[in-house]
Structure 1
Amino acid sequence: MINTGISTLFLFCSLLIGSKISPQQSGKKLLYEDATYEEEIRTVLLYPNSGNPGDVFLSPVDRVGSRRLTLEFDDLVEAHEQYRVKLIHCNRDWTPSGLRTLDYLYDFNEFNITQYEYSTDTKIGYIHYTFRLPPVKQSGNYLLVAYRGSDEKDIILTKRFMIYNQSVSIEILSNLNGLTSMKRDNQQIDFKINYEDIELINPLERIRVVLRQNQQWYNAITIKKPSFFRNLELEYRFFNFENNFSAGNEYRFFDMRSLRYPGQNIEKVDLLVRPSKAYIMTDGPRIYQAYAQYDDINGNFYIQNQDTGGSSESDYLYTKFSLALREPIGGTIHVVGKMNDYKLDETTQLTLDNRTRTYTNTQLLKQGFYNYKYVVKSDTLNYNYLEGNHFETENQYEIFVYYSPPDLRGDLLVGYSELTLNERLN
């Protein structure tokens, strides 16, 4: 059951976080991206669940016909609500496709979220929801839309996921890096696509490839044309750095799994305030530092409570990030990771604290272990300006191969591959 004094606490949290408002008041607009539409909706996860602890790190990608993708999220309210889910088939650029619901679903496009659990002994009460996605008939990009009751306009969250048919094979040819001064800052993947097992009409015009680094969409690369075309093969080799990724650095991290005995990179935890507040050690820029190898989780996070062990007892804390800079830079600075879907907006932007002369940002986060980094949004600076770029950095890459059949009003995902560059061997 919810912790004692929930009515008073709920009123307190409503003032802090914002009360629920009607869809007429909110003016909610459907976004074809990972997003939450109410302040109370927190810690949204979508991943292929096979029962292993590391599943939460996996990209929300699965095969046609499977039913492993699992949605989890918290709602910071005192009583559970009736939430429903619908799925929208999208093109490769995340615009809605022309497919009808019957083209990609076996059932009516309305699914109830019926599994939920109340938090216990937490300063901020919440309800944890879990939903297993239904199987789909067709490959491609999908947008999951969760909404309240029967009002599809009263959206609470949207989440992207990808379903593929492995109709083509993808072969990695090389990963060139570290050979020149530019390549020391970059990473690239050369590969080829073999489509001997599928009939493709005009593949040069109808095949598009998307590359993604560490499950981020803000710097994803779309490739329109192969470098070489030969019998039943498309080869993608890059010579002018046109499809390179900035290599970045290993992610920063902090350990907030215990509030009684704060973990690494936590300066202090104030348990006397409601909700509790955690202070991350003050960071500095790493652009001029030498590369330091250590294991990270490529921007991910996981929820864990080492004080009591119960997942429903993991509390929420206001978590303060601080960055010390000698002088301002041209652009805005954002603290991002999978914890906030790499959003480069006002919720992740750092502001100058005149008292301490540091740049700060505070986010409401659940107990756990987190990766994060500082990204610069600027017309003149690389987004990894404050972190540095090193070709030795371990990064996860994904290759998505889309095909637009002439007789179908949508893009299909006909191939998928995932690899880790500079993978650490334990």
Structure 2
Amino acid sequence: MIKTVSINLLIVLLTFQGFSQVQETNPPEYIKTITFKSRTSPQGQLPILRLGEAFYLEFDVLTTDEPDFYYVIEHYNYDWTESNLVKMEYMLGFDNFRIVDYENSFNAFQLYSHYRLPIPNRQTRGLKKTGNYLISIYNEDEELMFTRKFMIYKQEVAVGVEVKRKRDVRFIEEKQTVDIVINSGSLNLNNPMETIKTVIIQNNNLNTSIKDVKPQYIIGKELIYRYLNRTSFWGSNEFRFFESKDVRAASIGVQFIDLKEIYHGYLFTDIVRFDRPYTYNPDINGNFQITAIDRDNVDIEADYTNMHFSLLYPKLNDGSKIYIYGNYNNYALNEGNQLTYNSRSGNYQAIMKLKQGFYNYKYVIVDGKGNLDEGKISGDFWQTENNYKVLVYYRDLGARYDKLIGFGEATSVNISN
């Protein structure tokens, strides 16, 4: 009897694990600057790629021993549960091979190796299915170093995206709403209320995306989404930014620099903005761009600098924590980008080692219960320029996986009522 109960419990646990949503694993401190590059996806942005499009995964390893790394690619459903496809159904060739393309840094104080994984390559000749993918990087001891999500789509439907002010007057000054119209054209969608799934992403941040929004109306070939609350986001504020393309001189946002074991850049002390009027300040919506002056190949010639952040904010005694937030580390919240309170200066401070470039960032608060508040320090304004991406998934009756059949994009530059 005990043995039967144990077996049943094991089956339940395995079933639960099989349907759990996969979360991205962040790298150890010595792995930095993870980026996807392709013809249509600029460096540092969320990789949403066309079916058949070549791309590269690149990252730096801040050691001198040139370690070996291996990659594994897996297919997932729209909600990041594992799909029912076996590898040979979605992949041409094989994975789990060593990454052989890497170069050592040149003329930099911080020694590092730059790794580059092209897809397709000689072993992995291509990916055949649309949908969600997870690429996992392992070291030679089969220890997981990090994972990254990417999406592959085929434009089979037209996706119209428009950004509106919040229709609920209680939040009309702080929120933005995303309206969507999907036109299926010649594609016959069976029971779209159940078979169509949409995901709305603000500023390339999957952590705050809105999932599984169903159409409100179906008129002919059009699926219409015009919700009051379901598709609304906090407007937040324009990202702060700095530039470190010249390590020998202070640049945008940098107060002064100092050379120790490597270069150190000290940013101007930031202040809260939630209680100040909105001011338009062009940004790149949380992304980053590696750049360095007088360098031919920034992949291996751009240096790493210790950037010193400082925020004037009263000490939090309720268990809340403040983090530096942005796409530079995939919007992660961990010890590496957490600020600590300095009682002598009265500021929150942090030091992060970042490759030379142009960076967007903001300060966010996570309370003692783990709730993220992006606007508590920066404020929320309906005028803020944000980028929105909409992914449309379809699983036909009897199908075994979620196809990614449409992609649409808009910004709130021309936001309307």
* TM-score w.r.t. length of structure 1: 0.84
Identical residues among aligned pairs (%): 33
Cα distance in structure 2, aligned partners of 1:173 and 1:35:
33
- The CA distance in 2 between the partners of 1:342 and 1:175, in whole Å, is 25
Query: Does structure 1 retain, via aligned residues, the 8 Å contact 2:321–2:339?
Result: yes
* Equivalent pair of 1:324/1:359 in contact (CA under 8 Å): yes
1:63-85: CA deviations, max 9, x gaps? 11221x21111011213233222
1:46 aligns with 2:27: no
Contact 1:148–1:154 (CA under 8 A) maintained in structure 2: yes
Report the secondary structure of 2:193's partner residue: helix
Aligned with residue 412 of structure 1, among 397, 403, 407:
403
Separation in structure 2 between the aligned mates of residue 381 and residue 36 of structure 1, nearest angstrom: 18
1:308 Cα deviation (Å)?
A: 4.7
TM-score relative to the length of structure 2:
0.86
**Are the equivalent residues in 2 in contact too, given 1:31–1:158 (CA < 8 A)?**
no
Q: 1:180 to 1:263 in 2, by over 3 A?
A: same
CA distance 1:328–1:82, shift in 2 (3 Å): closer
Between the aligned partners of 1:179 and 1:226, the Cα distance in structure 2 is 19
1:33/1:143 contact within 8 Å kept: no
Please report how far the alpha carbon of residue 43 of structure 1 lies from its aligned counterpart in structure 2 after TM superposition.
0.5
1:39–1:327: structure 2 CA closer, same or farther, 3 Å change rule? Answer: closer
- Counterparts of 1:324 and 1:392, CA distance in 2: 25
Task: Return 124-133 or 309-318, whichever deviates more.
Answer: 309-318
Pick one of 4, 22, 25 that aligns with 1:35: 25
| Residues 38 and 254 of structure 1, relative CA distance in 2, 3 Å threshold | same
Q: How does 1:147-186 map to 2 (within 5 A)?
A: 147-149=138-140, 153-172=142-161, 175-177=164-166, 180=169, 182-186=171-175
Alpha-carbon offset, residue 229 of structure 1: 2.4
Q: Would the aligned equivalents of 2:44 and 2:327 in 1 still touch at CA under 8 Å?
A: no
Are 1:178 and 1:184, in contact at CA under 8 Å, matched by a contact in 2?
Answer: no
Judging by fraction of residues, say which structure has more strand.
2
Question: How many angstroms apart in 1 are the aligned matches of 2:21 and 2:247?
Answer: 36
Asked if structure 1 preserves the Cα contact closer than 8 Å seen for 2:161 and 2:410, the reply is no
5+ unaligned residues in a row in structure 2: which ranges? 1-19, 121-125
Q: Distance in 2 between matches of 1:49 and 1:55?
A: 7
Q: Are the aligned partners of 1:41 and 1:74 in contact in 2 as well (CA < 8 Å)?
A: yes
Structure 2 Cα separation of the partners of residues 307 and 42 of structure 1: 22
Matched with 2:123 is none
Secondary structure of 2:205's counterpart equals: coil
Question: Which residue identity lines up with residue 282 of structure 2 in the other structure?
Answer: D
Partner of 1:219: 208
Aligned to 1:269: 257
The answer on whether the counterparts of 1:49 and 1:70 sit within 8 Å (CA) in structure 2 is no
1:49 maps to a residue whose letter is R
* Equivalent residue, structure 1, for 2:348: 359
What does residue range 363-402 of structure 1 map to in structure 2 within 5 Å? 363-378=352-367, 382-402=373-393
Alpha-carbon deviation of 1:57? 4.9
CA pair 38-72 structure 1, distance change in 2 beyond 3 A: same
CA distance in 2, matches of 1:31, 1:413: 18
Q: CA deviation at 1:195?
A: 2.0
Question: CA–CA distance in 2 between the matches of 1:314 and 1:348?
Answer: 21
Task: Measure how far apart 1:31 and its partner are.
Answer: 9.4
Aligned to 1:322: 310
> Following TM superposition, by how much is the alpha carbon of 1:386 offset from its aligned partner in structure 2, in angstroms?
0.6
Per the alignment, residue 87 of structure 2 pairs with: 101
**Contact 1:213 1:220 (8 Å CA) reproduced:** yes
Which amino acid is 1:316 matched to? Y
Task: Give the 5 Å matches for 1:149-298.
Answer: 149=140, 153-172=142-161, 175-177=164-166, 180=169, 182-239=171-228, 241-271=229-259, 273-298=260-285
Selected match of 1:121 from 104, 107, 110: 107
Partner in structure 1 of residue 59 of structure 2:
73
Matched residue, 1:25: none
1:142 paired to 2:133: yes
Which AA in structure 2 matches 1:298?
Answer: N
Separation (CA, whole Å) in 2 of partners of 1:292 and 1:161: 33
Aligned partner letter, 2:305: L
Q: What SS does the aligned partner of 1:339 have? A: helix
